[in-house]
Amino acid sequence: MGSRSGDGAPWRLLGPLRWRRDGADVDLGPAKQQCVIAVLLLTPGRSVPVATLVDRVWGEDSPRAGNAVAPYIARLRRIIAGAGGDPGMLRFVSGGYRAEVAAGDVDLHRSRRLASAAREAHQAGDGKLAADLLRQAVAEWEPVALAGLPGDWAARVREALHRERLDLLAEEAEAQLRLGCPEAVVERLRPVAADHPTAESVVAALMRALSDGGRVAEALEWYARLRAAVGEEFGSEPGAAVRDLHVELLRRNEPMPARAPEPAGPAQLPADVAGFTAREEELRRLDEAIGDDRPVVLSGTAGVGKTTLAVHWAHRVRHRFPGGQLFVNLGGFGPAQSVLPPEEALRGFLEALGLPSRRIPRELPARSAMFRTLLARRRLLIILDNARDADQVRPLLPGVPGSVVVVTSRDRLLSLVAIETARPVEVGLFTPAEARAMLARRLGDERVDAEPAVVRRLGAACAHLPIALAVVAARAAGRPDLRLTALAEQLTTGAGLDLLDGHDASSNVRVVFSWSYRQLTPGAARLFRLLGLHPGPSFTATAAASLAGCPASRALDELVRAHLVAPAAAGRYRLHDLLRAYAAELAGTGERDALHRLLDHYLHGACTAMRLNHTPSTLTPPPARPGTVVDEIAGDGAALEWLIANDAVLIALIRLAGTAGFEGHAWRLARARDHFAVRQGRWGDLVELDRTGLRAARHTGDRAAEAQLLRSLARAHLMTGDHDEAREHALAAARVFRELGDQESEAQTHHFLADVFDRMGERREALRHARTALRVYQAMDDRAGMARALNATGWCHAAVGEHGLAVEHCARALTLFREVGDRDGAAATQGTLGYAREQSGDFGAAIGHYEEAIRLCREIGERFFLADTLAHLGDCRRALGDGHAARAAWSEALDIFDELDHPAPNLRAKLRNA
């Protein structure tokens, strides 16, 4: 049914994965790498969590530690850049990756858009345009999507896309039949139906084409084949739609008793929304419900556009329901007096179906039975909008096949899913691309394109919530002279919820949220208010329990069911920013104890994780307040996972504690995060957060904490390249430690100053500070400190060309590190030994040390030093003539540097010239 267009979308999923650039296919690398980009292209513009990517690409063989996706993303970026594309199209956002690709640049989404436009053309009465658009949509497809990609995920998607292709073929055939071309349809569909004998949509279209061409008997033969194939493969009968067609054809083929004509049906749908955008995946899943006989539950948070979606889809498919369309707002989430009892909803339905008022039964069970009786000979589309719970919905279900029911609710209606096997369809927030499309439809492309960065800010300030975007669009549309920058400034500088008021209850975001809040039980309502104190972006059940000061699992489950809280990856939860702002308003300023418990929860978790992750620190938090739940962290792997998962929360809490009167928490959290941030290469906020910690320590008058934060701030400046500031803060820290008589910390600071002066190129001064640190540690008989100072001294000897002394000091250091079980120090010392051997020209010995350092770095989650060591390993491999191994080491190093946003320009040059 058509061949693929060579001028279609540059990204191809509907066949072998391909990217066409300047008329040629670009090699996207090995299969797993192709799987990564395929996952992202299935939802362009939408972030896919790293855990989800790993699960889809590796399945049961998922790697357990680190970000296994990052190297593949980095290599894909290089491939894209090498082909003249924008490597920034693959972005790391909020714990996941997304492909910044226009939907029209991916063949799958281009096809879906063409099909959607065809349906709109059909509704508008333009059958020729509809058929042409469907022909173009079909032309994007090849017989096998994602051909050649391995793995269970690819196989599942391939099967789903296979079914979608068959349905699209059938839809295009139906459009041709409406234009009076049955013979062409027969010729195209007969081989497809023969190859796919259980494809009901294809066989049904073929049956109609044969019937329209006067070959009813042949059409009936195809039904017999379908029924036999479905029975053999699935042990069931064909669906209601094709069974109805079969009965209709039987009636044409031989005389049958006349059946009373189906009465004219009601048409209760509200008006469709002009300029409807996005929701392609949700529309596809709604399309799948036709002929399935199971109700669909569209659930999502307040203001996400569930009703708009349901009504738009209903208008798109209403022609497939000759019995008519019923619609009722059940008022489940709105003013209390608006909740509609099911018996009243049934009265309206029965009257719409032509039943005289005097014949409508009084009792709910009798009304429900009457409703089911009337539907037995009709095929209707029924929209039950804004349902409060499953009990409000059950009496309104048809109970007989043929009709389709769509329920919208802020509650997940899990009982309806469990007992009535309803199809759950989650309606989420818009992606940034969808938010932009909505604003463009309402304000015009010219106005939106004039301020693209501001449009992104507007979307984020509205939490990508459709109702909020609609209110903002209405304000902007009413003021053509108002620059979008001004609106963004108001939204992001505190006006937020005040600005999102469309001057009636249904378009006031604060009021819309309140309708969900008022339905909560007291315990869930209290937890929701307290969650406004959590700075985000996500939290765990134990953090919620700490806020509440008591077990909170039932209240949290209730908030999830009500879509006031959304599940996130790996046992975490989140509120979008507008809901958090609303919750914070409700919490007010009287919840200081709850905030204290929350800070204690994260401080104790961070200190435990820091200790288990082999961080050299003596930080001990004060006892937690009663009601605080402290996370149980088992082992160094779990500790690293905890720190990675909660890093964004720790950053936000340091800032919050520093301004909310919790200075002790501010400086302790800053210290607890500091070493992890350096080890992971997360330097962007280090200077700011360590300054916050330093101010907090000085405010409390804790001189020891002040000195520790001075040294942490020095290290932050060192990592960001400001060597002069690093030296001044480190010298100040050493002075305070000396005043306090803290020899150990003073020695640690001299050790650090050795690193500072080494970076500044003052090698002999660096060696002097390293030796000073070593003397102090020896006087204290601090074996762990001696090991660190010996490694530093060895590095300084290597830096000035004294390789023998370097190896001697590092060998002693390595022995001590092994004795005290310090893998971090052992990794650094192996790196120093490798450097000393490399500088002396002993590349074979250097490789051995570098490989051991790399192994240890992978175990402890050290990222920057891992990349730096890989770069040196590549240099040694090249020196020994192994170009392939050198390129592999440099490539992995560059992948990590790219992930850390480190420029590493020498590596790019080495790879280009290799």
Q: Which two three-digit tokens encode residue 637?
A: 């792997």
349 & 458 share domain: no
Q: What is the pLDDT of residue 261?
A: 42
44: CATH:
1.10.10.10
CA 622 → CA 569, 599, 673, 802, distances in Å?
Answer: 31, 11, 17, 47
368 & 477 share domain: no
Tokens 């491939």 belong to residue: 79
Question: Could you tell me if residue 621 is inside a domain?
Answer: no
Using CA atoms, how far apart are residues 314 and 320, in angstroms rounded to an integer? 10
Question: Could you tell me if residue 352 is inside a domain?
Answer: yes
Contact 484, 455 (CB under 8 A): yes
Using CA atoms, how far apart are residues 588 and 584, in angstroms rounded to an integer? 6
Using CA atoms, how far apart are residues 539 and 535, in angstroms rounded to an integer? 9
Query: Which residues make Cβ contacts (< 8 Å) with residue 104, sequence separation at least 6?
Result: 9, 110, 113
8 & 143 share domain: yes
Q: Which two three-digit tokens encode residue 416?
A: 């309806």
307 & 388 share domain: yes
pLDDT tens by residue, 395-454? 999 977 788 999 999 999 999 988 888 999 999 889 888 888 888 888 888 888 888 888
Using CA atoms, how far apart are residues 615 and 613, in angstroms rounded to an integer? 6
Query: Which residues make Cβ contacts (< 8 Å) with residue 493, sequence separation at least 6?
Result: none
Question: Could you tell me if residue 850 is inside a domain?
Answer: yes
Question: Could you tell me if residue 795 is inside a domain?
Answer: yes
Residue type at 461?
A: A
Q: Which two three-digit tokens encode residue 591?
A: 């919840």
345 & 445 share domain: no
151 & 54 share domain: yes
**Domain C-terminal end among 365, 393, 426:** 426
7 & 129 share domain: yes
Query: Which residues make Cβ contacts (< 8 Å) with residue 256, sequence separation at least 6?
Result: 250
Q: What is the DSSP string of 688-744?
A: HHHHHHHHHHHHHT-HHHHHHHHHHHHHHHHHTT-HHHHHHHHHHHHHHHHHHT-HH
825 & 866 share domain: yes
Question: Could you tell me if residue 865 is inside a domain?
Answer: yes
Q: What is the pLDDT of residue 617?
A: 64
Provide φ and ψ at 476, rounded to 5°.
Answer: -70, -40
Neighbours of 684 (CB within 10 A): 13
β 423-426/296-299 pair status: parallel
Q: What is the pLDDT of residue 1?
A: 36
Instruction: Report residues of the chain scoring pLDDT below 70.
Output: 1-8, 60-67, 94-95, 234, 236, 240, 252-264, 275, 335-337, 493-496, 502-507, 589-590, 614-618, 901, 905, 914
Give the residue among 87, 672, 314, 347 at the shortest CA–CA distance from 306: 314
Give the residue among 526, 516, 459 at the shortest CA–CA distance from 488: 459
CA 899 → CA 72, 645, 681, distances in Å?
Answer: 11, 17, 9
358 & 420 share domain: yes
Using CA atoms, how far apart are residues 520 and 561, in angstroms rounded to an integer? 10
Question: Could you tell me if residue 709 is inside a domain?
Answer: no
**Domain C-terminal end among 144, 179, 214:** 179
Using CA atoms, how far apart are residues 277 and 272, in angstroms rounded to an integer? 12
Give Cα 626 distance to the centre of its chain: 35
Q: Which two three-digit tokens encode residue 325?
A: 């369309």
Question: Could you tell me if residue 108 is inside a domain?
Answer: yes
Question: Could you tell me if residue 803 is inside a domain?
Answer: yes
For the chain, the C-alpha Rg in angstroms (whole number) is 33
369: CATH:
3.40.50.300
Contact 596, 334 (CB under 8 A): no
**Domain C-terminal end among 179, 196, 216:** 179
**Sheet with 18-21, edge to edge strand ranges:** 11-12, 18-21, 24-25
15 & 161 share domain: yes
873 & 892 share domain: yes
420 & 447 share domain: no
Q: What is the pLDDT of residue 323?
A: 83
857: CATH:
1.25.40.10
Q: Which two three-digit tokens encode residue 175?
A: 């459009």
Contact 744, 764 (CB under 8 A): no
Structural domains in the chain (count): 4
Give the residue among 516, 431, 505, 515 at the shortest CA–CA distance from 465: 431
CA 790 → CA 165, 487, 782, 786, distances in Å?
Answer: 67, 59, 12, 6
**Residue 336 domain boundaries:** 280-426
